[in-house]
């Protein structure tokens, strides 16, 4: 393995006679080009020619993939869905913001027809959700909170105080003792960040 050198998308790396194209590259007119910005990696495998590939640096590599749990912040709600910004994938903070949507039918696993978005989320709530599809061209991920472990983890009351969960569908303000409806997450210890 040789030390990694940075390269940009579209950069000509070498000829196809010198190496075999690996991941993150493409060939054209007898040359291997980088298909993404990252670091050039040259590996000698069993074949005669080394394999060149381009790997992204680890910060930019984390993307919300289907099946991963993400932490997001609710931006807006309407009767059909909640719009969110994805902040973390697992415990890794994202450098750029991705948008997501939690549709009404993806909020709970049971009694989906009775779910009301405004009784599940409010703007600025912090929510744990699972990515269920990569959505459309606006990088809008479809998210679900249907599992018990998913849902609101941090919410502030109208008095601006962080609320305490008192059931799977309610949170209470410790100062005013006002109760508000939420789709509350039963948080697993690995998602709690101190």
Cβ(143)–Cβ(131) below 8 Å? yes
Q: What is the pLDDT of residue 58?
A: 54
Share of the chain above pLDDT 90, in %: 54
Domain 5-55, CATH among 3.30.70.580, 2.40.50.100, 3.40.50.2300, 2.30.42.10: 2.40.50.100
Q: What is the pLDDT of residue 13?
A: 93
| CA proximity to 156, closest of 184, 126, 118 | 126
What is the number of other CB atoms lying within 10 angstroms of the CB of residue 31? Answer: 15
pLDDT tens sequence across 144-180: 999 999 999 999 998 899 999 999 999 999 999 999 9
Average pLDDT over residues 103-108: 95
Where do the structural domains in the chain lie, given as residue ranges? 5-55, 68-150
pLDDT tops 60 at residue 60? no
Asked, colleague to colleague, whether 5-55 and 68-150 share their fold, the answer is yes
Tokens of 79: 């009767």
Q: How confident is the model at residue 62 (pLDDT cuts 50, 70, 90)?
A: low
Check the CA dihedral 55-59-65-67 and report its sign: positive
CATH code of 68-150, in short, is 2.40.50.140
Q: What is the pLDDT of residue 59?
A: 45
The alpha carbon of 104 is separated from its chain's Cα centroid by a whole number of angstroms, namely 19
Q: How confident is the model at residue 194 (pLDDT cuts 50, 70, 90)?
A: very low
Average pLDDT over residues 59-71: 76
What is the number of other CB atoms lying within 10 angstroms of the CB of residue 85? Answer: 13
Average pLDDT, the chain: 85
Q: Which residues contact 76 (CB under 8 A, 6 or more apart)?
A: 82, 83, 123
Share of the chain above pLDDT 70, in %: 86
d(CA 13, CA 74): 43
In this prediction the pTM is 0.66
């Amino acid at each position: 393995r040789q030390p990694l050198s940075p390269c940009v998308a579209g950069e000509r790396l070498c000829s196809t006679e010198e190496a075999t194209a690996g991941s993150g590259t493409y060939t054209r007119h007898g040359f291997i080009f980088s298909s993404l910005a990252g670091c050039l990696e040259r590996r000698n495998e069993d074949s005669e020619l080394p394999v060149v590939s381009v790997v992204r640096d680890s910060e930019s590599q984390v993307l919300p993939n289907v099946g991963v749990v993400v932490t997001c912040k609710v931006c807006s709600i309407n009767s059909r869905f909640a719009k969110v910004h994805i902040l973390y994938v697992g415990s890794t903070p994202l450098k750029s913001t991705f948008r997501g949507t939690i549709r009404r039918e993806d909020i709970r696993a049971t009694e989906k027809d009775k779910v009301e978005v405004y009784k599940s989320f409010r703007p600025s709530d912090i929510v744990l959700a699972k990515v269920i599809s990569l959505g459309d061209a606006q990088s809008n991920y479809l998210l679900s909170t249907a599992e018990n472990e998913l849902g609101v983890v941090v919410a502030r009351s109208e008095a601006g105080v962080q609320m305490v969960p008192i059931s799977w569908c309610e949170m209470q303000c410790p100062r005013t003792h006002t109760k508000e409806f939420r789709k509350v997450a039963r948080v697993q210890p690995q998602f709690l960040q101190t």
